[in-house]
Structure formats: C-alpha cells, structure tokens
C-alpha cells in the first residue's frame, strides 16, 4: 500500500503504484493541523490507466463472466473484513475527519451493512417477461452499465464510497473510485483486502487527487459510462455539463438546507435534543443537516433559550476521546468558510450561542456550536449551505406558514417534522418537497430505504433497491416464435 518512502500509492489494475508524475500531496489531522500521511497524486495520465484497466476488466476479464453469486461472496467477504478491522478503520476515520470516535464507529458499522445488503441483493435482480403477442417472447434483461466513476466527499469518507461501490459491484460494473483529497486513508485500507476478497485486477481502481486534475478527467473520459457523485451543488452542476458530451449516466447527491420543523404540541425534551442533534451531528458537515430550525411562535422564545442552554453543554474535544460530541471541522478551508458565514450571520440575525472558537483549543479547526435566531428565510445563512456547526432558527405562525418557509429553498434533500398530532404531521409530510422526511426524529439513515434529493439536491437515489437501479441498463429482447417468413417483401 505504501512505497519505500512511506507514500500511500494509487491502486490501479490490482497493483499499488506511484503516480506517473511522482507528485504527492499531504493529508492532515484537523485536530492538530499536522500532516498524517503523504499520498500519490493522480492526474489525467493516471486516470487514463485506471479507466483502461476498468474497461478491460468489464469487457474481457473474469469479471465479465462473474455470476451474481460470486459477486455476492466478494461483498460478504469485504463486509466481514470491515467488521474485523472496525476499530482500526474507525480510528483512522476519526483522526482524519475530526469526527468523534463513537460516530466513526457507527459509520464503519454502516459500511459493513452496506456491503452485506448489496451482497444479498446481488442475487435478487430478476429480469422480466413482457406481455406481448403470442407469437413472440419478449424479455427485459438487467445488465451492468459498464465502467462507473465514483467521486466521493470527505464528511463520511468510507461510507460514501461504500454507498457507491457496493451497488456498482453487485450490479457487475467496474469502477474508478476517487476519494476526497482530504480523506483518502480508509478507502485505501479497504483496497488492501480487495484481492483477498476475490476481486479480479482492474475491477476497482482507486485514484487520489484533486477535483480539477483528478475528478474532471474521470468525468470527461469517453470510456467511463456513468458518474456517481456526492459533494457540492456547484461541482454537481459542472459534472452534468461535462458529462453531456459523452452522455454519461449521472447520479448526484448534493447539498441541502433542510428544514427541521417544531410544532408547539411536540414532546419538549425530544424536540430540543432533536433540533441540536439534527444540525450539530458530525460538526454539521452533513448533507441532510437540519440547518433551518422552524419553530412555532407559541414556543419560540423558550425554544431558542433551551437550545442555547443545552448547546453550551455539548462536549467539544479530541476525536479519539469517547466523551467527545463535537470535533474540529475538516480543514482550514472549511474552517474559514464556516467562520465567514458566522460573520455574515452576525449582520443578518441575532446570536443565541457560540459564534467563536471554543476556549482551551489553541490548535485545530474547532468551532463552537453556533445558533442564530430571528433569522429571515431570505438571509444568506438561511439560503446557503454552510456545512458546519451553525444553526438558523426561524419562527412561524401556522402550519401553512411552516410549509411555505420549509419549501422556499432551491434545495430538497431532507426535512423533519415534530408533533404529537398525526393528522398535522402527515399533512406536512405530504406537502414537503424533499427526498427524505423524518417524523419526530432527524438523521436516522437505513440502508434499506431510498436516499436522495428533490430539486437542486440531486438526481437519482442511493441505497435500497433504488441504489442498484442506478448501475443497471435494461435490454429488451424480442424472440420471434413464428416460423413463417415475415412476408413483407
Ligand atoms: P466538492 O464538491 O468540491 O468535493 C467533493 C468531491 O468532488 C471531492 O472528491 C473533490 O475532489 C471532487 N471534485 C471537486 N471538484 C470537482 C470537479 N470539478 N469535477 C469532479 N470532481 C470534483 O466539495 P468541497 O469543496 O470539499 O466542499 C465545499 C462545500 O461543498 C462544502 O462546504 C459543502 O457545502 C459541500 N459539500 C457537500 C457534501 C454533501 O455531502 N452533500 C459533501 C462535501 C461537500
Ligand atoms: Mg470544492
């Protein structure tokens, strides 16, 4: 996995290799700001080798003849390897992302579940017999799309890789996977076990590098058939444009500004906890973060006060400390970006708590859990994805008012509604324009259920049976059963 110089290498055609240029880049620990590792930096020439390897493996390698059962076995072996190595994977993930170790352990457990789920699903993708006339037999076959380019973000590094890799392999695709440049390490740990799990060379290739020099060549490569991307809306839009020239299939899981709606009749303790958990989990670096907290006016002042009080008790600390509930954000860039939004928020709304660097932390990209209130839904902090521990609290008058504010956003990834009144709660559920809606909870994510966004939050769905659909083509086969000549000429 590492060269003699200790550099983490690229994984291309079943081999660990340096990049052609010999360039490397540093990966950081966001709690100490120190370098954790050096990683080989791929650019267009390396991507071309990786895509060619994936193409050969798809067209002519043993993978082309693999059965659903053989692919299931590989996925189960990867899952059991991940479970066996859960502690070491979680530790590297926590150190590299800054997330609390307890959260990282949950993420890695979910990685194993994703491989198990798609291992099971691999053997359950039937075709269909179509009801055409009696002198023909018409079939629909499900076939893998081909070479899939998988581009992954840094907030849930190995989990977002697994959400793409597992259904792609179950479907029979081959892959070129690009982790985020901030967080490549756990994905390379996984790659160590590919051969042992039975993956033939070239089926999964891992290339590390930056967006423009490593991501763009994957998107533009003519031998790549499909792109699956999770990340910023801005990059998602550029991928759709670049993929247009070769008409690649594209699935996108992008940003959000998800409303978390609290009615006065909701359970009080659960609501305060749910408002904080919804937005501060994983330092707020979550695509589905409940970053717009909509509160009914009857309880609004008390709600803001209670949130602010409880936010002050959130334990900020080192990622490996088991008591930590909030770690540093991922990078200096993200630290500056989040702080710039806090500065904007000071001019747009009132601050209930946080807004600075926590006391006692002189190193690391730590930001206090920050709550703005009296936020107007037209404010920038209510419209733009901040992707950090920053909440905006917005008051509302009525059910209709709550729905109007909730839907007044270009995004549509997630939403939550809290109430004891099932009539009202379900009316609101049906009115929300979002791909995921929670009732009396926020953030639970199940591998069995579809995940993805309405509007500018994305295209397509991951997880569940929906996830594998995105890696399959449908072939119509028409078999003539009549032995008579067609008789046209
Ligand atoms: P990004 O969207 O630039 O990066 C995500 C992935 O895409 C990385 O692997 C990156 O190398 C790659 N990438 C970047 N530019 C690319 C391009 N032109 N073509 C192909 N691949 C490209 O996200 P970034 O810059 O790290 O974070 C900026 C903001 O994006 C965050 O503050 C947050 O708002 C949002 N974001 C959303 C995520 C989500 O889960 N929806 C995850 C990460 C970021
Ligand atoms: Mg970017």
Residue 314 has what pLDDT?
98
Instruction: Give the rounded percent of residues in the chain with a pLDDT score beyond 90.
Output: 98
Q: How far is the CA of 256 from the centre of ligand 1 (A)?
A: 13
Across all residues in the chain, what is the average pLDDT? 98
Q: How far is the CA of 457 from the centre of ligand 2 (A)?
A: 16
Which bound ligand lies closest to the C-alpha atom of 331? 1
Nearest CA to ligand 1 atom 4: 231
DSSP string, 93-135: HHHHH---HHHHHHHHHHHHHHHHHHHHHTT----EEE---TT
Other Cβ atoms within 10 Å of 469 Cβ, number? 17
So which residues are the catalytic ones?
253, 287
CB of residue 181 inside a 6 A radius of ligand 1: yes
Residue 4 banded pLDDT, cuts 50, 70, 90: confident
DSSP string, 283-304: GG--TT---EEEEEGGGHHHHH
Ligand 1 pocket: which of 207, 235, 337 to mutate (most atoms <8 Å of CB)?
A: 235
Distance CA 280, CA 257 (A): 14
CB of residue 231 inside a 6 A radius of ligand 1: yes
Q: Residue 342 class from Cβ within 10 Å (0-12 exposed, 13-18 middle, 19+ buried)?
A: buried
CB of residue 163 inside a 6 A radius of ligand 1: no
CB of residue 354 inside a 6 A radius of ligand 1: no
CB of residue 437 inside a 6 A radius of ligand 1: no
Which atom of ligand 1 is the closest one to the Cα of 255?
Answer: 41
Residue with tokens 């490569």: 221
Instruction: Give the rounded percent of residues in the chain with a pLDDT score beyond 70.
Output: 100
Residue 486 banded pLDDT, cuts 50, 70, 90: confident
Q: What are the pLDDT digits (tens) for 6-33?
A: 999 999 999 999 999 999 999 999 999 9
Residue ranges covered by each domain of the chain: 10-254+457-475, 259-439
Distance CA 310, CA 269 (A): 11
Token code pair at residue 184: 């490549």
Which bound ligand lies closest to the C-alpha atom of 208? 1
Whether 71 shows a pLDDT value over 90: the answer reads yes
Q: What are the pLDDT digits (tens) for 229-273?
A: 999 999 999 999 999 999 999 999 999 999 999 999 999 999 999
Which bound ligand lies closest to the C-alpha atom of 236? 1
Other Cβ atoms within 10 Å of 376 Cβ, number? 14
Residue 346 banded pLDDT, cuts 50, 70, 90: very high
Residue 87 has what pLDDT?
98
CB of residue 164 inside a 6 A radius of ligand 1: no
CB of residue 153 inside a 6 A radius of ligand 1: yes
Say which CATH topology domain 259-439 has: Aldehyde Dehydrogenase; Chain A, domain 2 (3.40.309)
Residue with tokens 């069995």: 448
Residue 485 has what pLDDT?
86
| Mean pLDDT confidence for 151-178 | 98
* Whether domain 10-254+457-475 has CATH 3.40.605.10: yes
CB of residue 238 inside a 6 A radius of ligand 1: yes
Q: What are the pLDDT digits (tens) for 404-450?
A: 999 999 999 999 999 999 999 999 999 999 999 999 999 999 999 99
Q: What are the pLDDT digits (tens) for 296-331?
A: 999 999 999 999 999 999 999 999 999 999 999 999
Residue 458 has what pLDDT?
98
Contact 382, 229 (CB under 8 A): no
Ligand 1 pocket: which of 152, 181, 217, 231 to mutate (most atoms <8 Å of CB)?
A: 231
Q: How far is the CA of 166 from the centre of ligand 1 (A)?
A: 21
pTM equals 0.98
CB of residue 210 inside a 6 A radius of ligand 1: yes
Q: How far is the CA of 235 from the centre of ligand 2 (A)?
A: 7
Helices (H), 129-230: 157-171, 185-191, 194-197, 216-220
Q: What are the pLDDT digits (tens) for 440-450?
A: 999 999 999 99
Q: How far is the CA of 458 from the centre of ligand 1 (A)?
A: 13
Whether 336 shows a pLDDT value over 90: the answer reads yes
């Amino acid at each position: 996995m590492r060269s003699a110089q200790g550099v983490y290498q690229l994984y291309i055609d079943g081999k660990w290799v340096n990049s052609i240029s010999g360039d490397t880049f540093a990966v950081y620990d966001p709690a100490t700001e120190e370098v954790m590792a050096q990683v080989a930096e791929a650019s267009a020439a390396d991507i071309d080798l990786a895509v060619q390897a994936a193409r050969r493996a798809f067209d002519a390698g043993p993978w082309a003849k693999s059965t659903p059962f053989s692919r299931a076995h590989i996925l189960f072996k990867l899952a059991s390897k991940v479970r066996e190595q859960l502690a070491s994977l979680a530790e590297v993930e926590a150190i590299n992302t800054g997330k609390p170790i307890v959260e990282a352990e949950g993420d890695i457990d979910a990685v194993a579940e994703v491989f198990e789920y798609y291992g099971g699903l691999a053997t359950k993708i039937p075709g269909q017999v179509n009801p055409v006339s009696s002198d023909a037999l018409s079939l629909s076959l499900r076939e893998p799309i081909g070479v899939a380019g998988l581009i992954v973000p840094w907030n849930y590094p190995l989990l977002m890789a697994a959400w793409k890799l597992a259904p792609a392999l179950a479907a029979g695709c081959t892959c070129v996977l690009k982790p985020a440049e901030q967080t490549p390490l756990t994905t390379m740990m996984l790659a160590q076990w590919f051969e042992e799990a039975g993956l033939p060379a070239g089926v999964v290739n891992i290339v590390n590098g930056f967006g423009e020099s490593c991501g763009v060549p994957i998107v533009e490569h003519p031998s790549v058939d499909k792109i699956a991307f999770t990340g910023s809306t801005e990059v998602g839009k550029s991928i759709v444009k670049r993929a247009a020239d070769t008409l690649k299939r594209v699935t996108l899981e992008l940003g959000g500004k998800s409303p978390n709606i609290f009615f006065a009749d909701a359970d009080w303790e659960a609501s305060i906890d749910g408002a904080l958990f919804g937005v501060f989990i994983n330092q707020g670096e979550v695509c589905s973060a409940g970053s717009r907290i909509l509160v009914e006016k009857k309880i609004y002042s008390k709600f803001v006060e209670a949130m602010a009080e409880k936010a002050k008790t959130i334990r900020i600390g080192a990622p490996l400390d088991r008591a930590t509930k909030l770690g540093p954000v991922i990078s200096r860039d993200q630290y500056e970006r989040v702080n710039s939004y806090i500065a904007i928020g000071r001019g747009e709304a009132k601050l209930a708590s946080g807004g600075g660097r926590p006391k006692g932390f002189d190193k690391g990209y730590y930001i206090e859990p920050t709550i703005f209130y009296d936020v107007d839904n037209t404010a920038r902090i209510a419209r733009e994805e901040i992707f950090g521990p920053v909440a905006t609290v917005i008051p509302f008058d009525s059910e209709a008012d709550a729905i109007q504010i909730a839907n007044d956003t270009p995004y549509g990834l997630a939403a939550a509604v809290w109430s004891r009144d099932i009539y009202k709660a379900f009316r609101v559920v049906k009115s929300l324009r979002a791909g995921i809606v929670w009732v009396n909870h926020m953030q639970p994510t199940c591998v069995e259920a579809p995940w993805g966004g309405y509007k500018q939050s994305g295209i397509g769905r991951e997880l569940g049976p929906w996830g594998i659909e995105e890696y399959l083509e449908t072939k119509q086969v028409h078999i003539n059963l009549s032995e008579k000549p067609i008789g046209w000429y």
